[in-house]
Chains A and B, each alone.
Chain A
Amino acid sequence: MIVMFGIFLLTLLVITAIAIVRTSNLFVAVMLMGIASLLIAANFFILDAADVALTEAAVGAGISTVLFLSALALTSAQERSKSSRRLLSFTVVAVAALVLIYATFDKPRLGDPQAPAHTHVAPWYLENTPTYIDIPNVVTAVLGSFRGYDTLGEVFVVFTAGIGVLFLLGSGTAPGSLPRETRNEGLRHYLIPRVVGRLLIPFILLFGLYVQFHGEYGPGGGFQAGAIVTAAIILYALIEGERRALAALPQRWLLGLMAAGPLIYGAVGIAGIVLGGNFLDYSPLASDPVSGQHLGILLIEIGVGITVTGVLLSIFHAFAARGR
């Protein structure tokens, strides 16, 4: 039954993808992209990836749609030129798709417990997480501790991308660049979005904090929480106008948050060395190794959360400020 539901969702996804490529109205394409993200998130949930589903729903369907729309507002919503070398491209793509599909016949079937992916190192993590880390969510344990080095790299990639966007578009902190009241009133004159938004925003923020600090026990963690908190503040900016959102959380703070995240993460890593362990080894941080791991994961997740919040919000404001 659940398999059939998954197949139904995937079929819808293929139809959406084809519609995205075929439409020449970019606004429609962005909206369909949001729908596609939501369908993918639902699929991830069916495939037991609760953490990933949460991230995809918050980032793919939420923030990415807002970023695409704010970039679209600065360009044009209509695609003018037609495709180039359409027949050649289609042939190449179709042949590649057929080759890929041919290759899948050698792949293990969906859910096969004997698939190579499940028999190599994965069981080790499932068996040893209770001993070394002792938190219920294995995804968080691998992300934060076992492969903490990789996650540090990812945080720096997010940080670098944020810096890159600010270089391209300007951070909007220069004097005189404060938004004028006229064009930035948001939806303040519309009663329903305003009332509903006011009701929703505190709960979205609370949910973001829950996801941040409950990430060791349930689906969640810094990446998801950062995206959810960002979504709440973007919603505030859309409803009350960007000026008020910037008054509540000034750009200077956001730049601070962007930099503070990688700093906290790196500092936890160096604290491990200072206290006699290896880089990003959390065991020496507390009296016994397991509570050291708990503390380390909590701290680096905070670092991840504030980087993601700072970067995504700065990017949003950079696009919004460009429109003035």
Chain B
Amino acid sequence: MELLGLYHYWVFAILLMTGFYAVVAKLNLFKKLIGLSLFQAAVFLLYITMSKVDGGTAPIFSGAADAVFSNPLPQVLILTAIVVGISTTALGLGIVVRIKEEYGSIEEDEIQEIDRR
């Protein structure tokens, strides 16, 4: 039961590395971006896991005197990070679309082949 408290962190590690695998091993640029999003999501999960306090509720005062609140700071960090993340992902997608238009391919090996010619 003691080890179950670490399960969230294990999922973080597996998710992070699954995303990283897609970034390093896949040659498709679109797939790399999807992997990057997974990587990002794993980091979000790590921060939010750290904000949980046993028996706590969301950090919104409701009038109850003895309420325990979870830590608001990681939540603030991740809240903004999610929106920034989608904006930067969109920028990456824009670059991929332009690469497709210029090279006719989004596979890294084919693009390098064209570059070498």
Q: Which residues of A contact B (CB under 8 A)?
A: 3, 6-7, 10-11, 13-14, 17-18, 20-21, 26, 29-30, 33, 36-37, 40, 43-44, 47-52, 55-56, 59-60, 63-64, 67-68, 71-72, 74-76, 79-86, 89-90, 92-94, 96-97, 100-101, 104-105, 107, 109-113, 115, 117-118, 121-122, 125-126, 129-130, 136-139, 142-143, 147, 150-151, 154, 157-158, 161-162, 164-165, 168-169, 217-219, 221, 223, 226-227, 308, 311-312, 315, 318-319, 322
Interface digits, B70-111 against A, CB 8 Å rule (1 contact, 0 not)? 111111101110111011111101111110110001111110
- Let me know if A47 and B60 touch, CB within 8 A: no
User: Could you pull out 27 A-B pairs where Cβ atoms are within 8 angstroms?
Assistant: A17-B19, A29-B34, A33-B37, A40-B44, A49-B48, A49-B74, A52-B75, A60-B82, A67-B90, A81-B28, A82-B27, A83-B27, A93-B18, A104-B6, A104-B13, A111-B5, A111-B52, A112-B54, A113-B54, A113-B68, A136-B61, A138-B59, A138-B60, A161-B87, A162-B87, A223-B82, A319-B94
**Are A86 and B25 in contact, CB atoms less than 8 angstroms apart?**
yes
Q: Which of B10, B18, B52, B91 contacts A164 (CB 8 A)?
A: B91
Query: In the complex, which of the residues A48, A85, A93, A165 has the most CB atoms of chain B within 10 Å of its own CB atom?
Result: A48
Contacts of B109 in A (CB 8 A): 81, 84
Instruction: List B contacts of A227 (CB < 8 A).
Output: 83
Whether A93 lies near B24 (C-beta < 8 A) is yes
Which 9 pairs from chain A and chain B are nearest by CB? A109-B5, A161-B87, A111-B54, A100-B13, A89-B25, A48-B70, A104-B9, A71-B93, A97-B17
B9 shortest CB reach to chain A, Å: 4
CB-defined contacts of A29 to chain B, threshold 8 Å: 31, 34
A13 vs B48: C-alpha distance when bound (angstroms): 15
Interface centre among B20, B38, B109 (most CB of A within 10 A): B38
Shortest CB-to-CB span from A134 to chain B, Å, is 10
Instruction: List 14 additional contacts besides A10-B7, A49-B70, A137-B60; criterion CB under 8 Å.
Output: A7-B4, A7-B7, A17-B18, A47-B48, A48-B69, A82-B27, A101-B9, A107-B6, A110-B5, A138-B72, A223-B79, A308-B83, A311-B87, A318-B94
Kindly state the separation between the CA atoms of A319 and B101 in the bound complex, as whole angstroms. Answer: 13
A47 and B52 contacting across the interface, CB-CB below 8 Å: yes
Find A75's partner among B54, B57, B100 (CB 8 Å cutoff): B100
Residues of chain B whose beta carbon lies under 8 Å from any beta carbon of chain A: 2, 4-22, 24-28, 30-31, 34-35, 37-38, 41, 44-45, 48-62, 68-76, 78-80, 82-84, 86-91, 93-98, 100-101, 105-110
